[in-house]
């Protein structure tokens, strides 16, 4: 790699790490850096499903020119992809995924042949998403999804504690 490429990589890494420190953001599990396009792709793959989505939500709050896409795939999994720019310019792409049920959602499976594949729903304010189709979402919808998933997880923890006799 030419010396100029090394400086470009160093500059991108410093900028990215500075963005994390400035905004106290969660660290991604995977990072891919593209020096030619001055962009970074970060992926969140570990931890609880709601925590992965919350990590992307935290990041999106710090980006400009934000685009958020949600895709529901055939394995009942929700994929989140967001892109934007940091204040200092580099493009940042973010991604995570989780099973819909782990996020407190429901999945409808059609027994009969239907022109519409399986679909899922979270809250009335969130759009219905169909298999193989990516829909744009708003920051508020993503916030609602994370809040709903946290509420469901908390109520499931209380129910599990009650079943074990931990909570009266």
Give me the tens of pLDDT residue by residue for the chain, a chain 168 residues long. 455 557 788 888 999 999 999 999 999 999 999 988 999 999 999 999 999 999 999 999 999 999 998 887 767 788 899 999 998 778 999 999 998 888 887 766 655 555 555 555 554 445 555 445 567 788 888 888 888 888 887 876 655 556 666 555
Q: Is 51 a domain residue?
A: yes
Query: How many residues are listed for the chain in this entry?
Result: 168
Count of CB atoms situated within 10 Å of the CB of 101:
15
Residue 156: what pLDDT? 67
Two structure tokens written together for 134: 């990516």
CA–CA separation, 168 vs 166, rounded Å? 7
Q: Is 167 a domain residue?
A: no
Q: Is 79 a domain residue?
A: yes
Residue 140: what pLDDT? 85
Longest CA–CA separation in the chain, Å: 66
**Domain that includes residue 109, residue range:** 3-159
CA–CA separation, 143 vs 75, rounded Å? 24
Q: Is 164 a domain residue?
A: no
Residue 164: what pLDDT? 63
Number of compact structural domains in the chain: 1
Residue 1: what pLDDT? 45
Count of CB atoms situated within 10 Å of the CB of 55:
22
CA–CA separation, 87 vs 76, rounded Å? 35
CA–CA separation, 142 vs 54, rounded Å? 9
Q: Is 83 a domain residue?
A: yes
Dihedral of CA atoms 33, 56, 139, 107 in degrees, nearest 10, equals: 120
Per the CB < 8 A criterion, the answer to whether 101 and 113 are in contact is no
Q: Is 121 a domain residue?
A: yes
Residue 25: what pLDDT? 96
What does the DSSP assignment read for 96-158? EEEEGGGGT-EEE--SS--SS--EEE--TTSPPEEBT-EEEE-HHHHHHHHHHHHHHHHHHHH
Q: Is 166 a domain residue?
A: no
Q: Is 168 a domain residue?
A: no
């Amino acid at each position: 790699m030419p010396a100029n490429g090394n400086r470009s990589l160093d500059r991108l890494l410093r900028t990215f790490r500075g963005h994390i420190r400035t905004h106290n953001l969660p660290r991604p599990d995977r990072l891919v850096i593209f020096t030619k396009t001055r962009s970074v792709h970060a992926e969140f793959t570990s931890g609880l499903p709601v925590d992965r989505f919350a990590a992307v939500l935290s990041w999106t709050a710090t980006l400009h020119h934000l685009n958020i896409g949600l895709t529901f795939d055939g394995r009942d999994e929700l994929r989140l992809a967001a892109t934007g720019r940091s204040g200092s310019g580099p493009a940042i792409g973010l991604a995570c995924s989780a099973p819909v049920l782990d996020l407190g959602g429901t999945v409808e499976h059609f027994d009969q042949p239907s022109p519409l594949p399986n679909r899922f729903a979270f809250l009335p304010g969130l759009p219905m998403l169909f298999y193989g189709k990516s829909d744009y979402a708003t920051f508020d919808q993503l916030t609602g999804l994370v809040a709903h998933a946290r509420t469901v997880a908390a109520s499931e923890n209380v129910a599990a504690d009650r079943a074990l006799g931990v909570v009266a």
